[in-house]
Amino acid sequence: MLSIEKKYEKRKRIAQSTCDLFIEKGYGNITISQIAKVAGIGKGTIYEYFSNKEDIIFELMASLQEVYDTKLFSKLKTTISTKEKLIALFEIFLSQEDTVQKQRQIYKEFLSIYIHNKTDAMNQYNEKMMNKYKKILQDILQESIDKNEISERSLLFVSSIFATFQGFFVMDENKNVLYEYIDNLLSLFEIKKKEN
């Protein structure tokens, strides 16, 4: 019998092995048999670790998010400007890196499932993710407010900023448009210094 830690690691490996399959075929076009084949395990073994395909894509998202968060927090510690921190936070929408592109595709698969077949688990997962990243955005803005660079009213726009980026994401906007959006936000929130 596998320990809980080993079972968790195997669950994670199974989900990670499905990444390219989900990207190539899409969630709706994949069977549990195909997932088992790609993972190199029997179909019955899948059900020892997952309840259904949604459970697998949740685990895959969580695994990709772990990697993304590690990079994000590292960048947030080493970057200085508010703009650089915002770019780091929204890298999933901006980066052309292969791993980020894959994460973006998996996130689109998740959104497709979420839009067409919401479950309580999906709602909770989505809410947890949004709350985590909204908190990070609030912290970035608060740091800039504390430095007297931007107005405190910027905090009122946290939800709107996320909604706008999700809209850009769904529409596959050009990354230059997203950089322009960040510049415009910072310009809007900037505290104008009075000249003597």
- Domains of the chain: residue spans and CATH: 52-189 (1.10.357.10)
Measured at the CA of 139, the angle between CA 97 and CA 130, to 5 degrees, comes to: 60
Distance of CA 116 to the CA centre of its chain: 19
**Closest among 108, 115, 87, 127 to 170, alpha carbons compared:** 108
CB count within 10 Å of CB 171 equals: 9
Q: Is the pLDDT reported for residue 157 higher than 90? A: yes
Q: Return the pLDDT at 195.
A: 45
Q: Are 60 and 15 in contact (CB under 8 A)?
A: yes
- Mean pLDDT of the region 57-76: 88
pLDDT in the model for residue 176 = 83
**Confidence (pTM):** 0.81
Burial of 187: CB neighbours in 10 Å, binned 0-12, 13-18, 19+: exposed
Structure tokens at 5: 């830690």
